[in-house]
Chains A and B, each alone.
Chain A
Amino acid sequence: MSNNVLRRLYPKGNYFMQGDEAIAYGAIFAGCRFYAGYPITPASEIAETMSRELPKVGGYYIQMEDEIGSIAAIIGASWTGLKTMTATSGPGFSLMMENIGYAIMTETPAVIVDVQRSGPSTGQATKGAQGDFFQARWGTHGDHPAIALSPSSVEECFWITIDAFNLSERFRMPVMVLADGIVGHMREQIRIPDPDEVSIIERKLPTNMEETKYPFGRELVPPMPIFGKGYFTHVTGSTHKETGMRDVFTPSVHDRLVRRIHEKVREHEKDIVKWEEKFTDDAEILVISWGISAKPSLGAVLRARKEGIKAGFFRVITIHPFPGKRINELGKDVKAIVVPEMNLGQLILEVQRFTNDDVKLIGVNKIGGVPITSDEVYRAISGVMS
């Protein structure tokens, strides 16, 4: 039924819409049928779109009393077999952190969208920023893996949300989408595909009672015995054995569980990590950026090329896990790396981890809620050359 419904409701073709709306439609195409959220600028349009569209496709929208309740509800709903999402911005993302850890520990698929805004604290509530790079990685406590993707355009908001659902279902873990207030509110033309053009991954479910006995181990990604089927599954955020039963005292139980959760990402890093590169073959200067700041970065690289400067462009799509290996390879052949981002230097720290000391690192950092211009990036590039 589903594909025909999508075809009827959202015929393939070109549409003009906001990034936030594209995230909502991406989620619906990915199979999301449960959304819980709490209003916050600049992410609210995702909730508004979901509240309007979900009932049409047989899905549920609920506005919870806060962000903590929102992520709790989507984790609960995920255990009933639904694909679930919430969306928020910086302050709400901070509130969700404890339960992001819970979803990691209980191996629950869910998608969390953070449309980043200026901070710290309330900051400039309505302005975009890119300051949550490390919050996505290390916001929750303890040792854990993280998958976070960042879109640069409205069209990519659609596809990255689908990727996030697919990764989340495949690895049974929460996946984050780090958009920002500018890409979220920007309007661009996007092409809505036919549902058949979208490949969808569904979580592995047990096929018999035997497979329900070890929902938290024995395999790297064990089948998920969802609720309501008579499996008597026990789920806890406390350290648990492969059966799900709590054991917080045996060191080896904790070690085995947490290492396996890490391995899910580490072992498949190659399939997860995504980036985009242009003009990197002969580049002497490399511009590495992410999210919305990658747009002016590419503009600056194109201009530099016109001026005869051998500039290359590298856009980080999965901010976690980080494409450090490729950056390390590229870094060997360049004089300098320019890193534009709307914060005072976060991505640049990751770039630094993967580059040699003789490579000059130059941050183009702009805060205040105004996007970086290609002029500003170009000035950094030409500054290196002169």
Chain B
Amino acid sequence: MKKYRMLKYLREEVLPTTMCPGCGGGTVLNVFANAIDELGIDPRNLVMVSGIGCAAWIPSPYFKSDTLHTTHGRPVAFATGIKIGLPDKYVVVISGDGDLAGIGGNHLIHAARRNIDITVILVNNFIYGMTGGQVAPTTPFGAKTTTTPYGNVEHPLDISETIAKAGASYVARWTTAHPFALLKAIKKAMVKKGFALVEVISQCPVQYGRRNELRTATEMLKWFLKVSVPLKKAAKMSLEELEGRITIGEFVDVDRPEFVEELNRLIEKGE
């Protein structure tokens, strides 16, 4: 059997992964490994941080780099301390929507506002998967979960839109059905000086799809392709037309003063 080309980036001793069959986490792991491979980033220059939940397991423990698996919702805050201590390293957070935008939403907003040079890959599967499929801040209106048996009566948070407005230098959203665009976005996010967020809409056939007439990974991926709208096209569509759609593309790509560089400038001034 042919050896997986990206195996060199993984801790072989902990494989296979705990991810369910059909989980989009595998695509994210694969695309991220390809991104650092194509960029030629030495994993010794990489620090991976994650919180709690399915997506938090993508880097931890599978990625062979320094990895910090933190408390629920807090990886961005932990990563802030790491980036200040190691400004020359790539500090990457991979975690889920519940972790980063639910309990950790405030840290995400403020890291974007500060424009600290961290790359966040937020895997959005619309659900709290690991803990049993409860409603998340990203669950679509009307969708069924174990805690919305009559349909979700809340409105989902548009994470990319929010973080773009909060001041991030780079924000893009793609789905696991767009792996090549996703690869390009992750590469851009990694080299971007400043706060970069890549939101990946990812399938969870086990906890989300099963309860919402999308029983398999294939059905979920087909659904992503059907409802995705590029940002340019979406700009011309009405709110009613956009209902239930997923906008994809680059939300922001700008250059602003970066936080750790500014901190180090204070020290230079002092000396």
Please report which residues of chain B, range 47-78, place their CB below 8 angstroms from some CB of chain A when the two chains form the complex.
Answer: 47, 49, 60-61, 64-71, 74, 77-78
A230 in contact with B61 given A76-B80, A82-B85, A84-B81 (CB within 8 Å)? no
**Contact yes or no, B71 A99, CB < 8 A:** yes
Across-interface contacts of A229 in B (CB, < 8 A): 44
Across-interface contacts of A284 in B (CB, < 8 A): none
Please report which residues of chain A, range 234-262, place their CB below 8 angstroms from some CB of chain B when the two chains form the complex.
Answer: 234-238, 244-246
**Contact yes or no, B80 A69, CB < 8 A:** yes
Across-interface contacts of B49 in A (CB, < 8 A): 76
**Contact yes or no, A232 B65, CB < 8 A:** yes
**Contact yes or no, A69 B74, CB < 8 A:** yes
Q: Which residue of B lies closest to A101 (CB)?
A: B71
Count, chain A residues at interface, CB 8 A: 44
Q: Which residue of B lies closest to A243 (CB)?
A: B13
- Per a CB cutoff under 8 Å, which of A68, A75, A228 touches B81? A75
Across-interface contacts of A82 in B (CB, < 8 A): 85
Count, chain B residues at interface, CB 8 A: 39
**Please, what's the 1-or-0 string for A48-61, where 1 marks a CB less than 8 Å from any CB in chain B?**
00000001101110
Q: Does any Cβ of A come within 8 Å of B14's Cβ?
A: yes
Q: Does any Cβ of B come within 8 Å of A102's Cβ?
A: yes
A233 in contact with B66 given A77-B81, A84-B81, A227-B47 (CB within 8 Å)? yes
If over half of A's interface residues share one DSSP class (helix, strand or loop), that class is named, otherwise mixed; here it is mixed
In the bound assembly, the distance between CA atoms of A271 and B109 in angstroms comes to 44
Across-interface contacts of A84 in B (CB, < 8 A): 81
**Please, what's the 1-or-0 string for A35-74, where 1 marks a CB less than 8 Å from any CB in chain B?**
0100000000000000000011011101011101110111
**Contact yes or no, A245 B61, CB < 8 A:** yes
**Contact yes or no, B110 A76, CB < 8 A:** no
**Contact yes or no, A73 B69, CB < 8 A:** no
A245 in contact with B13 given A65-B107, A238-B69 (CB within 8 Å)? yes
Q: Does any Cβ of A come within 8 Å of B82's Cβ?
A: yes
A79 in contact with B14 given A60-B263, A237-B71 (CB within 8 Å)? no
Please report which residues of chain B, range 142-199, place their CB below 8 angstroms from some CB of chain A when the two chains form the complex.
Answer: none
**Contact yes or no, A72 B69, CB < 8 A:** no
Q: Does any Cβ of B come within 8 Å of A350's Cβ?
A: no
Q: Does any Cβ of B come within 8 Å of A80's Cβ?
A: yes
Q: Does any Cβ of A come within 8 Å of B229's Cβ?
A: no
**Contact yes or no, B270 A55, CB < 8 A:** yes
* Residue positions of A touching B, CB distance < 8 A: 34, 36, 55-56, 58-60, 62, 64-66, 68-70, 72-82, 84, 98-99, 102, 227-238, 244-246
* Residue positions of B touching A, CB distance < 8 A: 11, 13-14, 43-45, 47, 49, 60-61, 64-71, 74, 77-82, 84-86, 89, 106-107, 109-110, 263, 266-267, 269-271
Query: Can you list 15 A-B pairs, Cβ within 8 angstroms, ordered by A?
Result: A36-B81, A55-B266, A60-B267, A62-B80, A64-B110, A72-B74, A76-B78, A76-B79, A77-B81, A79-B81, A231-B66, A232-B44, A235-B66, A235-B69, A236-B60
Given A80-B86, A228-B66, A233-B67, 9 more pairs with CB closer than 8 A: A56-B270, A69-B107, A72-B80, A72-B81, A75-B78, A99-B74, A228-B89, A235-B69, A244-B61
